[in-house]
């Protein structure tokens, strides 16, 4: 939801909403709800990856799917603002997309792992708002990965093994959401975004607005 129209005169920087979780906790589901919600006005940073495309995924919408050679070329030419190896594949965020959005004052969603979150946090500490999604139980995490039925049994096993390690990164994030009930989790994430947009330090237009208020003569 946009901040009050009275502040539009002064440009604001976009915020970087980073969402991470162990695989299967519901991060992509929550991200999809955010992107479909017109009130939220968020766009996705489409990552580059060397992972195989899942049946449900569309090139350019969910990821830019690349060969290892192509990925390495992007990485070595500094086209990636962050990159990491996750579950034996490479993933990275395109620098140009992220920087253009921020400069234009558009808020962006980054569905990236803890290594990427750490890199963005170090590079742009004032712009990053980070949320970690936890599953209610490990059993439920396993059930969700199986139910999603997008990965092979071997891939699911790797992801479950990595989950224990990833979960231990929880304390580096600004906000923690335990995704038991999806509606409640989504409401929590939405309220985080709305509150962060209201922060005084993200609203340069407030100076002009308050000056205008003080200049008004009571009739």
Does position 130 interact with ligand GDP (CB under 6 A)? The reply is no
Q: Which single residue is written with the structure tokens 């970690």?
A: 132
Contact 135, 22 (CB under 8 A): yes
One character per residue 57-86, x = contact with ligand 5GP (rule: CB under 6 A): -------------------------x-x-x
Binding stretches for ligand ADP (CB under 6 A):
21, 23-29, 144, 147-148, 179, 181-182, 185
d(CA 146, CA 151): 8
Q: Helix and strand tally (H, E) in the chain?
A: 8, 9
* Closer residue to ligand ADP in complex, CB, 27/202: 27
* Distance in Å, CB of 169 to ligand ADP, minimum: 14
Q: At what angle do helices 153-167 and 138-148 cross, to 10 degrees?
A: 150
* Closer residue to ligand ADP in complex, CB, 157/208: 157
* Closer residue to ligand ADP in complex, CB, 23/45: 23
Q: Is 24 annotated as ligand-binding?
A: yes
* Distance in Å, CB of 49 to ligand 5GP, minimum: 6
Q: Which residues 6+ apart lie within 8 Å of 181 measured at CB?
A: none
Helices (H), the chain: 27-36, 68-76, 95-103, 114-123, 138-148, 153-167, 182-197, 206-215
Tell me which stretch binds ligand GDP (CB under 6 A): 1-9, 67-75, 80-88, 173-181.
80-88
CB atoms within 10 A of CB 187: 12
Q: Is 14 annotated as ligand-binding?
A: no
Binders in 91-130 for ligand 5GP, by CB under 6 A = 91-93, 111-113, 115-116
What is the Cα Rg of the chain in Å? Answer: 19
d(CA 219, CA 216): 9
Does position 28 interact with ligand GDP (CB under 6 A)? The reply is yes
* Closer residue to ligand ADP in complex, CB, 21/119: 21
Q: Is 172 annotated as ligand-binding?
A: no
What are the residues binding ligand GDP (CB under 6 A)?
20, 23, 27-28, 47, 51, 82-84, 86-87, 91-93, 111-113, 115-116
Residues at the annotated binding site?
21-28
């Amino acid at each position: 939801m946009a901040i009050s129209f009275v502040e539009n005169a002064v440009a604001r920087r976009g915020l970087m909403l980073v969402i991470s979780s162990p695989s299967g906790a519901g991060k992509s589901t929550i991200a999809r709800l955010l992107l479909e919600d017109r009130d939220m006005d968020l766009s996705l940073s489409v990552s580059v990856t060397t992972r195989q495309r899942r049946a449900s995924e569309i090139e350019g919408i969910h990821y830019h799917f690349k060969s290892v050679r192509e990925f390495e070329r992007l990485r070595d030419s500094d086209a990636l603002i962050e990159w990491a190896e996750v579950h034996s594949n490479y993933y990275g965020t395109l620098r140009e997309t992220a920087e253009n959005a921020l400069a234009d004052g558009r808020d962006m969603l980054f569905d990236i792992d803890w290594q990427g979150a750490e890199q963005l946090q170090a590079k742009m500490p004032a712009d990053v708002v980070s949320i970690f999604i936890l599953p209610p139980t490990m059993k439920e995490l396993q059930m969700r990965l199986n139910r999603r039925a997008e990965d092979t049994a071997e891939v699911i096993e790797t992801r479950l093994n990595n989950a224990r390690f990833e979960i231990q990164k929880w304390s580096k994030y600004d906000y923690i959401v335990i995704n038991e009930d999806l509606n409640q989790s989504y409401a929590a994430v939405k309220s985080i975004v709305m509150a962060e947009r209201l922060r005084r330090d993200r609203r340069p237009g407030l100076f002009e607005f308050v000056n205008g208020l003080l200049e008004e003569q009571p009739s």
